[in-house]
Structure 1
């Protein structure tokens, strides 16, 4: 059995990792709890599993990019996340870098 698919999976995950962070920060311009965030991202075509999302949310909060608070909704306490001022600064930088990279990759991908 060849290891090519495993190596390919790792490469795809490397590309997704940064994109997921950017997508989560963009989505959290509005408050969401974990499940509503997953559902909203999936509705836009971006699947993210719980084992990836919740550690990402904790890491972004630890880095000072998000804030969270417990709120009551539909009779349940849910932890809502939202981007904060530090996250807005990081988001602007990440969007700029994403656009620059996208432009270069688009040029490289063009066929003459």
Structure 2
């Protein structure tokens, strides 16, 4: 695969991962539980990708975090902020719109080739 194609696929995946992560933070999740939930949905994400993404989302006030120290192993939980919920709903709406438009466009191209 060419370097350009790899770059384009990485860019596309980055946006999809952000939306996927936001979609799972409507209830508090810690890192491993989030990785597991995404994997159960068919989305693979490495912890080395997830944690920097969570920090970026927190820095942008889209998610908040808190430590749960009630168990033997402390866990940092992440959840959407109110602002994050608003942003997530807008991103989801735009993703659906763009997906539908691209699907129609690509179907038209397939029909023209027949």
TM value normalised by structure 1: 0.92
Among 72, 91, 96, the residue aligned to 1:94: 91
Structure 1: how far apart are the matches of 2:2 and 2:32? 30
Aligned to 1:43: 40
Q: In the comparison of the two structures, how many residue pairs are matched?
A: 109
Deviation at 1:108, TM superposition (A): 1.1
Aligned to 2:13: 16
Among 11, 29, 33, the residue aligned to 1:32: 29
Deviation at 1:82, TM superposition (A): 0.5
Aligned to 2:101: 104
Among 2, 5, 9, the residue aligned to 1:5: 2
Deviation at 1:50, TM superposition (A): 1.4
**What RMSD, in angstroms, separates the aligned Cα atoms of the two structures?**
1.2
Structure 1: how far apart are the matches of 2:70 and 2:91? 32
Query: Aligned with 2:74: secondary structure?
Result: strand
TM value normalised by structure 2: 0.90
Query: Aligned with 1:70: secondary structure?
Result: strand
Structure 1: how far apart are the matches of 2:20 and 2:96? 13
| Cα deviations by residue, 1:14-66 (Å, 9 ceiling, x for unpaired) | 11111111100100111111111011101100001112110100000010000
Aligned to 1:67: 64
